[in-house]
Structure 1
Amino acid sequence: MNTTSNSIRPFRIDVAQGEIDDLRARLAGTRWPQELPGVGWSRGVPTSYLRRIAEYWQGAYDWRAAEERLNELPQFLTEIDGQQLHFAHIRSEEPGARPLLMVHGWPSSFAEFSRIVGPLTDPVAYGGRAEDAVHLVLPSIPGFGFSPLAESGRGDLLRVASAFAELMTRLGYDRFLAQGTDAGAGIVGLLPMVAPGRVIATHVNGPAPAPFGPPLDASALSGRERERAEAFNAWQQDGTGYLAIQSTRPQTLSYGLTDSPVAQLAWIIEKFREWTDPAAELPEDAVDLDDLLTLVSLYWFGELGWSSAHSLAEGMETFRRFAPSAAEAPTGDEAPAEGGWEMPPMPPASVAVFAADMSVRSAVDPYGAVGTWNEYEVGGHFPAMEAPEVLVADIRSAFRGA
């Protein structure tokens, strides 16, 4: 990998007041669509609901307070292989702390993890044990956060995994733990391949079967496995529209997401309605509304609607390219993968499945590579925001003794 500069520069979020004023003006000037009676959420986010949230975003939400809270996390920029990478790096004061690379997914950012930084880096203060402490590295995937896409191809998950491995090298971490969600889970799964022997153990939450693969045979399953398979099959039929357009026509979608904050809000909040704890009726019942609007604001101010869509499209290309070779080398021992290279030995792997997840073990772990598989009846796609105590406890347990 060509690493043109090893410099690491401090970074602080500082959105210009003019951009905040422009956001409020755009929200105030929104041209709202009509709403058909009786359809509720079945055809997308209802106008009556989104209008209420947009009014709160415009008048009551305090971006400056959110900015100040995020800036409590030490943040940095570095350039790897011509791509600017943004990351937060929080070192634990515990002498035995180990490094943990934690990778977000879509539609999210490093900010999703802000409220679990303390429990992970200072576990004793939160009822944990000193040996659970980690030095936390929270990178922004290219196209997200403050890692702007430098060029086409930067969303390739193999390339991202290699860049993150180089980032850990620059921070002085030869070996490290890795955790991820959504696209971050895919990157974490590739890290042991691009950095053999360096990943101590992995933990992911909510892995789902291949979105554009065949439906699952739910009749062959029972209990929660069957319920999740049925949910996955229903999602394939009714819930993949966002993925189809982002992975095929990201530029066309980009105009609305870049020009209209309400479009960006709707694009993200729909997923918080569909992917969070099923017991929560509305997104703000599952997560703190201000935290949700902080994520949306990061997308708006950073113009991430277009870049995250392109990043996702390229990530899906990686998935399609890699999936056949993964099937050909299931054990990770000596079987050659596509292209002639050998799959290196895999580190211990753990999975946490939350209530809204569609994780069917027989589909996502057909060869029994996952050592620990825990299922919970709370939370969903954003457990660091929905069920932080449960996620932190599962991460501690997964990495204890690794």
Structure 2
Amino acid sequence: MSPISLSPNRREVLAATAAAGVISLLPQALHAATDAEAIRPFTFSFPDEDLADLRRRVAATRWPKSETVADASQGVQLSTIQKLARYWATDYDWKRCEAQLKALPHFVTEIDGLDIHFIHVRSKHENALPLIVTHGWPGSIIEQLKIIDPLTNPTKHGASASDAFDIVVPSLPGYGFSGKPTVTGWDTPRIARAWVTLMKRLGYTNFVAAGGDVGAQVGDELGVQAPPGLLGVHSNMPGTLPADISKALNLHEPAPAGLSADEQNAWNQLELFYKKGLGYANEMSLRPQTLYALEDSPVGLAAWILDHDAGSYAMIARSIDGQPEGLTPDDVLDNITFYWLTKTAVSSARLYWDASATAKKGFFDVKGVNTIPFAVSAFPDEIYTAPKSWAEKAYPKLIHYNKLPKGTHFAAWEQPQFYSEEVRASFRQLRSA
């Protein structure tokens, strides 16, 4: 089948494409587009041999001795990773997740010389608001699977048709099914510009954006760039740190005096993260190519992904230990297996190198989103729970702020109902724009 370039009558073209079916393609064998701006349907298949090889590698893991402490202060605990590995090598079913992915419409388009993959689901409801949602690291499009139906089909989930979204879920460069950059420079400002191009190419003149982790950085950058048509941004990991707080944390100085209770809580969370939780980010920012082991050992990759932040690791460890909450072992393995099968452990890490090469602000610093309406959902076990006082100063056009009762770093993935409700509430007042 030749590539399909979307005409102004996009809905009919997409419907015809879906009815006709498309050729099954491996991620490494995409169609060559005759038109650089073509929207190309994308399907995928992973050979059974790859899954058999994965199980063999997991079963053949050379295990170290157990940690010498009784807690997670030395990293992912041996008992936790061994339980996950046993399940991965025996009973885990990747085909279930693959079927979920295949049930959605996937596309690729070349932007700035790189193939960008995205899921695009249009709502059946009229006047749906276009929304682009960006995942982070160590996430992927797997993070967003649970929110697609609640946001595109709100009436099925107890919400109003007037809250419907058309949703676009792209894979970051070097992640999932997107192309792996062969040159430097794919930092968050460039990704934000690419997302604007993508939304325009899909025919959307107005849209909103959301994301966490790297996706939150992209959201902040969209807000800084303030492109025409961007109506608002939602974040569950916003950049709100005042300059004095950021300076003190980076220099390991005491907290400034006069912090409120919420501000002190945020300081305590951040102080712990800056002292003990930044190892992965430092390595990927400085030496991503050194992470060969992640491409060679599934268990090495799994441990690297699990050891992101204290809150999410504690929740995942409890789930692996038989106390399911938020993310199940299947959820966790879906994401890790996706990284493994797409061979993106190192290419995804390079985004941190590119971003750190040009970044003028830290992860959590105020970025300067001065003119775009902004919404913040503060989850209690995120890396830090952004206080409203900081959010109001960081985002002069703050249109929504809410503290949630439960949730860690992976809000959309772990708490899809809360997250969907927050996104609807955040953008409700912008729909008439």
Q: What TM-score do you get using the length of structure 2 for normalisation?
A: 0.82
Contact 2:280 2:308 in 1 (8 A): no
- Following TM superposition, by how much is the alpha carbon of 1:214 offset from its aligned partner in structure 2, in angstroms? 3.3
Q: d(CA) in 1 for partners of 2:296 and 2:246?
A: 30
Q: 1:191-224: per-residue Cα shift (whole Å, max 9, x none)?
A: 2444522101111112256798531726421223
Partner of 2:181: 150
SS at match of 1:6: coil
Partner of 1:391: 419
Match of 1:348 among 355, 373, 376: 373
- Give the AA of the match of 1:285: E
Q: d(CA) in 2 for partners of 1:309 and 1:248?
A: 10
Q: 1:154-202: per-residue Cα shift (whole Å, max 9, x none)?
A: 5311111111111111111111011111111111122244452210111
- Give the AA of the match of 1:348: P
Cα distance 1:238–1:322, how it changes in 2: closer, same or farther (>3 A)? closer
Structure 1 window deviating more from structure 2 (38-47 vs 93-102): it is 38-47
Contact 1:110 1:145 in 2 (8 A): yes
Cα distance 1:192–1:221, how it changes in 2: closer, same or farther (>3 A)? closer
- Following TM superposition, by how much is the alpha carbon of 1:70 offset from its aligned partner in structure 2, in angstroms? 1.1
SS at match of 2:307: helix
Contact 1:94 1:133 in 2 (8 A): yes
Partner of 2:359: 319
Structure 1 window deviating more from structure 2 (360-369 vs 175-184): it is 360-369
Contact 2:277 2:309 in 1 (8 A): no
Partner of 2:248: 214
Matched, 1:21 2:52: yes
How many residue pairs end up in the alignment? 383
Contact 2:319 2:328 in 1 (8 A): no
- Give the AA of the match of 1:65: R
Cα distance 1:377–1:140, how it changes in 2: closer, same or farther (>3 A)? same
- Give the AA of the match of 1:353: A
Q: 1:303-335: per-residue Cα shift (whole Å, max 9, x none)?
A: 111011101221233333699x976xx573xxx
SS at match of 1:88: strand
- Following TM superposition, by how much is the alpha carbon of 1:235 offset from its aligned partner in structure 2, in angstroms? 1.2
Matched, 1:249 2:274: no
Contact 1:268 1:296 in 2 (8 A): yes
Partner of 1:337: none
Q: d(CA) in 2 for partners of 1:57 and 1:179?
A: 32
- Give the AA of the match of 1:243: A
Q: d(CA) in 2 for partners of 1:202 and 1:186?
A: 11
Q: d(CA) in 2 for partners of 1:213 and 1:365?
A: 20
Match of 1:297 among 314, 329, 337: 337
Q: d(CA) in 2 for partners of 1:389 and 1:160?
A: 28
TM alignment of 1:172-251, pairs within 5 A: 172-194=203-225, 196-207=227-238, 213-215=247-249, 217=255, 219-251=257-289
Contact 2:133 2:169 in 1 (8 A): yes
Matched, 1:259 2:296: yes
Matched, 1:366 2:393: yes
SS at match of 1:310: helix
SS at match of 2:360: helix
SS at match of 2:40: strand
SS at match of 1:78: strand
Q: d(CA) in 1 for partners of 2:194 and 2:301?
A: 28
TM alignment of 1:4-15, pairs within 5 A: 5-15=36-46
Structure 1 window deviating more from structure 2 (282-291 vs 305-314): it is 282-291
Cα distance 1:316–1:204, how it changes in 2: closer, same or farther (>3 A)? same
Contact 2:58 2:85 in 1 (8 A): yes
Matched, 1:128 2:172: no
Matched, 1:73 2:113: no
Q: What TM-score do you get using the length of structure 1 for normalisation?
A: 0.88
Contact 1:218 1:226 in 2 (8 A): no
Q: d(CA) in 1 for partners of 2:74 and 2:124?
A: 49
Partner of 1:274: 311
Q: d(CA) in 1 for partners of 2:326 and 2:314?
A: 6
- Give the AA of the match of 1:350: A
Unmatched 5+ residue regions in structure 2? 1-33
Contact 1:251 1:306 in 2 (8 A): yes
- Following TM superposition, by how much is the alpha carbon of 1:250 offset from its aligned partner in structure 2, in angstroms? 0.6
- Give the AA of the match of 2:103: E
Q: d(CA) in 1 for partners of 2:333 and 2:315?
A: 20
- Following TM superposition, by how much is the alpha carbon of 1:364 offset from its aligned partner in structure 2, in angstroms? 5.9
TM alignment of 1:28-39, pairs within 5 A: 28-39=59-70
Unmatched 5+ residue regions in structure 1? 333-345
Q: d(CA) in 1 for partners of 2:266 and 2:366?
A: 23
Q: d(CA) in 2 for partners of 1:152 and 1:326?
A: 29
Give the root-mean-square deviation of aligned CA atoms: 2.5
Contact 2:122 2:152 in 1 (8 A): yes
Q: d(CA) in 2 for partners of 1:331 and 1:171?
A: 25
Contact 1:80 1:163 in 2 (8 A): yes
Cα distance 1:36–1:398, how it changes in 2: closer, same or farther (>3 A)? closer
Identity within the alignment, %: 34
